[in-house]
Structure 1
Amino acid sequence: MDAGDMGRDLEKVLIPEEELQTKIKELAQRIDDDYAGRELLLVGVLRGAVMVMADLARALHTPLEMDWMAVSSYGSGTKSSGVVRVLKDLDTDITGRHVLVVEDIIDSGLTLSWLLQNLESRGPASVEVCALLRKPEAIRTPVDVKYVGFDIPNEFVIGYGLDYAEKYRNLPFIGTLAPHVYS
């Protein structure tokens, strides 16, 4: 799927595919430098982080393993309540491991804050976060994010793993939807 397939549903391309891939390679280089001589466990947060994690893992030269978590936070409408439920837990014991949580986007920070506390309680050697996107204006709970791809405006975005009603995840860019799609 590309921009042409979306017709009038696409309002604008916020971050083109080429910029995303360049940024992923830059993040991978920083991570490789920081984890030189150590093994790394990438923990992807389903479902949005699938594209980021796949491309990041391929760009890394550091020995790594991958695992996945799925978490859900409940609230009214699209707002997170900060109450988190684990839908899929890790299959890997992270005790003594260097863990890098891979996120697609950080909005309020509530779910990620809970997730980091949960992971840190399991005794890893370290836990850091790599997020492709962050919305500084939307953050309600400060979260230490070591690797950030792009700071973006507080807009609803789709593509590269991000969805609207489970659609548009397979776009190779980050974009915004035309208002008629969700109004």
Structure 2
Amino acid sequence: MNDQWVVYISKEKIAQTVQALAAEIDRDYVGRSLVVVTVLKGAFIFVADLIRALKTPVDRVELLRLSSYGAGTESSGEVRVLVELPPGAVTNQHVLLVEDIVDSGRSTTVALNLLKAQQPASIKLCSLLSKPERRVVPVDIDYCGITIEDKFVIGYGLDWDERYRDLPDIYAIESVE
């Protein structure tokens, strides 16, 4: 790390946000269970914390892997599906799609369309972070943790060229060298 990085969201604020999101989801899913689908790699830490905070039964966790960044700090605009769900994995299930961040909306829209094609009983979106200034595809977030400014962020699963996912806080990169 260097002096151009500042803690943008503390690990304490992240933990409070996870608990608040879990409570909101629990209120909406009383008497039902969920299949949680997460988008790798960025959301893996968030989804682990979220499902442990839920009181709602989680029947399964399924994984999607999408890519739109590569090594840079700007999305390429092209979303590649690297790992899909097995056929029928969410058919007739109540699905919670968990994202680390909704930025342009492109990746999230691809994920939602993949899930909708399997005809779930219901589908809702939970994202730790939302960056609405960057949105080019409209996305409705059912459970939004924190709305952030248009900054490049790393830590708590979010990466920069596959590094820094292990940082416990979320950092804003003030300048890219």
TM-score (norm 1): 0.88
**Take 1:79 and 1:169, find their aligned partners in 2: how far apart are those partners?**
18
- Consecutive unaligned residues in structure 2, runs of 5 or more: none
The answer for unaligned runs of 5 or more in structure 1 is 1-5
Distance 1:133 1:80 in 2: 20
Matches within 5 A, 1:1-183: 6=1, 8-9=2-3, 11-64=5-58, 65-73=60-68, 78-81=74-77, 83-91=78-86, 93-179=89-175, 182-183=176-177
Residues 1:74 and 1:174: Cα distance change in structure 2 (over 3 Å): closer
- The amino acid that maps onto 2:127 is A
Deviates more, 1:21-30 or 1:109-118: 109-118
**TM-score by structure 2 length?**
0.91
Amino acid at match of 2:27: D
The change in CA–CA distance for 1:18 and 1:99 in structure 2 (over 3 A counts) is: same
Count of paired positions:
174
Identity %: 46
- Post-superposition offset of 1:80: 3.5
Q: Which runs of 4+ in 1 moved over 4 A?
A: none
The aligned amino acid for 1:133 is L
Say what the alpha-carbon RMSD is for the aligned residues: 1.9
Letter in 2 for 1:124: P
Going from structure 1 to structure 2, the CA distance change for 1:80 and 1:129 (only over 3 Å counts) comes to farther
